Structure 1
Amino acid sequence: MSAPRTNLPVDPARIADVIDGLAAITEPDRPYTRRAFTALHPEGRAFLEARFREAGLETRIDAAGNLIGRRPGKTPGLGTIMLGSHSDTVPDGGRFDGIAGVAAALAVARALIERGTELDHDLEIVDFLAEEVSIFGVSCIGSRGMAGVLPEDWLARESGGLTLAEGIRQAGGDPLRLAGEARGDIATFLELHIEQGPVLEEEKFDIGVVTAIAGITRIEIVVEGRADHAGTTPMGGRADALAAAARLVTGVEALAKSFSGGRFHFTATVGEFSIEPNAANVVPSRARLLIDARAEERAMMELFVNSLDQMAEQIARETGTAISTPRRISDNPPTPSDAMLVKVLDEACSAVGASHRRMVSGAGHDTAWMARVTRSAMIFVPCRGGRSHAPEEFAENDDIALGASVLLHAVIQLDHGLQTLNQEGR
């Protein structure tokens, strides 16, 4: 890292206090596990709410179950500058994913108070509910709810006898007020997050300014073969579903490699795989693949899916199996960051002496949903070895504090700049 870590305008110790305090609230022998809609999540929320109030913020839970700390601005009606991320984790996950963003946002609020800086806009710090894939099998529940795009049929999803609607209610929200309810007062949203990849560390940059969040498409393919005796059926007379599926797996990898490494971000992974009857002495009769594909540019995703169609048809002909047309289980388009905010963040990095580069996020974030209702952007800070969603996930506290300093500078600039944009009708 190139920038000095002395005389930062935010207090690194307070960032560490929040991160370490939440890290201590975890399932025994499972660091660091504090999933939304489980018993420990409210305990983490209570910890955060106390820290919000210590920072002079007014706290509330909105209809979507998001914890919000608010500091009123000097000029009513200008709208809200919002910062934040999420505090829930994946099972056995890291202690910085999302949490660093909440801690950094809170540090910005404290720094404004300690510097005696009053904003014209309202300032809100948010801990979104269930950004990670929850016990209900869906993610970004709080940010989708705030943006007014939480699917109504999701509320009936059930896990362990609990519905999502009941889970939101237990978190302090009100699912009856969610239908179509989108915040209209948010002037801008910024999120700090660990990179969850190795680029910043390897290239020795302090900050990544996120230009887009890749679209995520999940594609199911089913291969139907024929079950036969593994010892008596000649090799040339089989319709082996697994053999055909294996060719699909390696084909997906080769195709994704041909799409990546250029100007635009692209990845594809076969993350789920199952076969039937899954017996040692039976030729597999059925295989199912679930592909996770992520693209910065929508056109690349469409080209990938079309190429996948052609690959499946060719492998089916050559193996004597029946391969279903690749079916999109879910399909979210890429989310570009607001161009004005990207420029502001570039300038903020330079102002605080942080080396930075622009980059794309291959992971999904709450920012993608906030972009539905307001100007939104993100910054990344480095994490050790690019590791994330693992107990070994680690980010230097000073790196997070430097990122928070970038946010602080950006907030102060936006407090004035947004008014100019509004006056110009932009």
Structure 2
Amino acid sequence: MSQHANLTVNGQALWQDLVTTAAFGGTEKGGVCRLALTDEDRQVRAWFEQTCTALGCTVTYDSMGNQFARRPGTQDGLPPIMMGSHLDTQVTGGRFDGILGVLGGIAVLRALHDAGVTTRHALEVVNWTNEEGARFTPPMLASGVFGGAFTEEFAGSRADGAGITLRQELERGGFVGTEPCGQHPAAAYFELHIEQGPVLEAEDRTIGVVTGVQGMRWYEVVVRGRSAHAGTTPMPMRKDALLAAARMIEQVNAVALAHAPEGLSTIGIITALPASSNVVPREVRFTVDLRNPSESVLQTMEEDFLQRMQACALENDVQVTVTPTWNSPAVHFDPRCIASVKESTEELGYSMRNIVSGAGHDAVYVSRVVPTAMIFVPCLHGISHNEAESATPEDVTAGSNVLLNAVLKADYLF
């Protein structure tokens, strides 16, 4: 047990931070719309810097606009122990996704500041740029550059719907630091997050000890048929791209069912052309999201999916093209960091279970270069990426206390 095991975070101050930051991009339904590098994101970034500076931290940026709030250690030459997540949200996002990891990190800094405790390692709270991918795709862009998954040129060239690039917005906000992204040292990284799923709530567990993140693969499917008049073309003579796509979508669902219970498949976006009520669609585009905790099973799912798409195209006399758009391999977190989280949870007396994350997080890419672990707390009905997203003060405080104690353990472990 840590010599500072009696330290706890100020849950009331943490909850007030959640209330305060929810106003930056707050929606009428109680959610948040704070897309990466918009004015609302700039406002919450300024709040982050002011808050951390008041706790004795220095705040710097790297070349991808990632913010690092640093609290010095007694052996400041050691690489820092990092905590964090992201401040950007979905278009109709909630008040906890991502930002809890940043505010939990601030709660840890506040607890140490108020108690006059200085760790061996410097401690840093990180805000990763554009985790959600709601404005600039793909998601986790800046942590991806940090972890070597993307080049900085690729990330900076990503454009939103208006054609504005991420690099242009970084420059507009003054967020381009001199340190090249990926060269920031770190001894370990811990990320606190709501589960974004229903398991912890259903089992009445307070803490999820995250052992890894399931693999995820995204695709764009383009189905090409032939436009025809809806009133003059007999049914047997049509090459209906939308009808074929509907049958393909059923097969995408079948892929997940064939690899139950851990296989998942989702169709998120569908567009049809020429989008006229009296014209047989000539082209349909839809996205596919496949997930599984096992990389080998996910590969099998991909092969099954591709075969089913071609079979449907042949059966319906259309053409199909499947283009991979994102591949995030399954991740297994660092055993030492996982043990620090588990031991801290046990010592604090919280109920817990091991869990694999179904969603992607910045920790996925950070774990490629830094020993990493995550901590989950329950969210109401497992709802996330939704304005109804909710968690209790007790649970977010518990998660932050586990974060605090895990960091204190890591301070002597690394």
Q: Retained in 1: the 8 A contact 2:133–2:139?
A: yes
Q: Larger deviation: 231-240 or 125-134?
A: 231-240
Q: Are 2:373 and 1:377 equivalent residues in the alignment?
A: yes
Q: Does 1:47 align with 2:47?
A: yes
Q: Show the counterpart of 1:15.
A: 14
SS in 1 for 2:359: coil
AA paired with 2:235?
A: M
Partner of 2:70: 70
1:311 and 1:144 mapped to 2: Cα distance? 31
* Comparing 156-165 and 384-393, the one that deviates more: 156-165
Other-structure match for 1:166: 168
Identity of aligned residues (%): 36
Distance 2:158 2:222 in 1: 25
Give, in whole Å, the separation in 2 of the partners of 1:108 and 1:27. 25
Distance 1:331 1:302 in 2: 11
Runs of at least 5 residues in structure 2 that lack an aligned partner in the other structure: 1-5
Amino acid corresponding to residue 158 of structure 2 in structure 1:
R
TM-score, normalising length: structure 1: 0.89
Note closer, same or farther for the CA distance 1:125–1:273 as it changes in structure 2 (3 Å cut): same
Say if 2:62 and 2:177, in contact at 8 Å, map to a contact too.
Answer: no
Q: 1:322-342: per-residue Cα shift (whole Å, max 9, x none)?
A: 223x32122221221112211
Secondary structure of the corresponding residue to residue 340 of structure 1: helix
Give, as a single letter, the amino acid of the residue that structure 1 aligns with 2:102. Answer: V
Q: What number of residue pairs does the alignment pair up?
A: 406
What secondary structure, in the 3-state scheme, does the structure 2 residue paired with 1:186 have? coil
Determine whether 1:271 maps to 2:271. no
Contact 1:215 1:333 in 2 (8 A): yes
Equivalent of 2:410 in 411, 414, 417: 414
How has the CA–CA distance of structure 1 residues 42 and 228 changed in structure 2, closer, same or farther, with 3 Å as cutoff? closer
**Is the 8 Å Cα contact of residues 92 and 389 (structure 1) preserved in structure 2?**
yes
> Does 166-175 or 242-251 show the bigger shift?
166-175
Once the two structures are TM-superposed, the CA of residue 149 in structure 1 deviates from its matched residue by 4.5
Asked if structure 2 preserves the Cα contact closer than 8 Å seen for 1:61 and 1:172, the reply is no
Query: Which residue does 1:345 correspond to in 2?
Result: 341
Partner letter of residue 46 of structure 2?
A: A
Alignment deviations for residues 2-46 of structure 1 (CA, whole Å, 9 cap, x no partner): xxxxx9811111101211111122256474122222112221112
- Alpha-carbon shift at residue 134 of structure 1 (Å): 4.5
Q: Which residue of 2 aligns with 1:195?
A: 195
SS in 2 for 1:360: strand
Counterpart of 2:117?
117
| Paired residues of 2:239 and 2:317 also in contact (CA < 8 A) | yes
Q: Partners in 2 of 1:63 and 1:224 — Cα distance?
A: 42
- Please give the residue correspondences for 1:253-402 in structure 2 after superposition, counting only pairs within 5 Å: 253-261=253-261, 265-324=262-321, 326-402=322-398
Q: Which moved more, 1:191-200 or 1:289-298?
A: 289-298
**3-state SS, counterpart of residue 272 of structure 2:** strand
Any unmatched runs of 5+ in structure 1? 1-6, 419-426
SS of 2:291 mapped into structure 1: strand
Q: SS of the counterpart of 2:229?
A: coil
* AA partner of residue 393 (structure 1): E
AA aligned to 2:167 is A
Is the 1:10–1:111 Cα contact (8 Å) retained in structure 2? yes
What RMSD, in angstroms, separates the aligned Cα atoms of the two structures?
Answer: 2.1
Tell me the distance in 1 between the aligned counterparts of 2:128 and 2:310. Answer: 43
How far apart are 1:400 and its partner, in Å?
0.7
CA-to-partner distance for each residue in 1:98-136, whole Å, 9 max, x for gaps? 111111111111212333332111111112222111533
Q: Would you say the 8 A contact 1:65–1:169 is kept in 2? A: no
Cα shift at 1:177: 5.4
> 1:26 corresponds to which residue?
25
Q: What SS does the aligned partner of 1:323 have?
A: strand
**Corresponding letter in the other structure for 1:14:** A
